[in-house]
Amino acid sequence: MRILLVDDHPTVLFGLRHLLGSAGFEVAGEAGNAAEAVRLAEELHPDLVLLDLRLGGDSGIEACREMKALMHAPRVLVFTAHASVEDVAGATLAGADGYLHKGVAGEELLDAIRRTHAGGRVWLLPAENEEEAATRIQEASDEARLTPKEKEVFALVLKRRTNAEIAGELYISLYTVKNHVSSILRKLGLKSRREIS
């Protein structure tokens, strides 16, 4: 498995590189900002991206959305110290395949990487965070005036379906799903935020 590391803290990158190397994973590359992350994801075709949400002045959520739109989209596992409702919602809507708080043990991280790479969905957050996130996101969607089709897409996004799975389930093209997701993000005010508080 080839992994792209995205974090703006050199010490974190060093620790991750050591941990992953000791477990037999190949670090395909490292990026410290969103633009570099997207460029490397496109050039290196990693199997998985381990992505922080705060990248200096850049948004990891925006980088996630762009990487998931690539022709050879990698699996994306968010690995961050931030777990606010807005962060979880933004990552979910951007297509993240998993969400992991940096407080987890090394073995939990390695297990999450393996499970995410195998197609699983790994969300290691306190249960109350996830429940609160679901409630707040639903309330926001009611206020955002989503179209009936956007609500269908949104419901599947909240169940952590991939764009391809949504396309298959709703019998619409992948391009149409991406358009709906972009519209949902915009209406919820999540698409263009540089930093989500």
Q: Mind listing the pLDDT tens digit for each residue in 83-119? A: 776 787 788 888 888 888 888 888 999 999 999 999 8
pLDDT at 186: 78
Confidence of residue 196 (pLDDT cuts 50, 70, 90): very low
Could you tell me which residue, 191 or 117, shows the higher pLDDT? 117
pLDDT at 135: 65
Nearest by Cα to 50 from 108, 103, 2, 119: 2
Cα gap 20→16, rounded to integer Å: 6
Per-domain residue ranges of the chain: 2-187
Could you tell me which residue, 153 or 13, shows the higher pLDDT? 13
pLDDT at 37: 95
- Please check the confidence at residue 194 and state whether its pLDDT lies above 70: no
Contact 76, 48 (CB under 8 A): yes
79-115 as b/e: b if 16+ CB within 10 A = bbebbebbbbbbbbbbbbbbbbbeeeeeeebbebbee
Q: Give 129-178 pLDDT, tens digit per residue.
A: 556 666 666 666 666 678 888 888 887 877 767 888 889 988 999 999 88
- Please check the confidence at residue 128 and state whether its pLDDT lies above 60: no
- Provide CATH code, domain 2-187: 3.40.50.2300
Cα gap 103→144, rounded to integer Å: 33
- Please check the confidence at residue 195 and state whether its pLDDT lies above 50: no
**With a threshold of 0.75, does the pTM exceed it?**
no
Q: Give 21-68 pLDDT, tens digit per residue.
A: 999 999 999 999 999 999 999 999 999 999 999 887 778 888 998 999
The alpha carbons of the chain give a radius of gyration, in whole angstroms, of 16
pLDDT at 192: 35
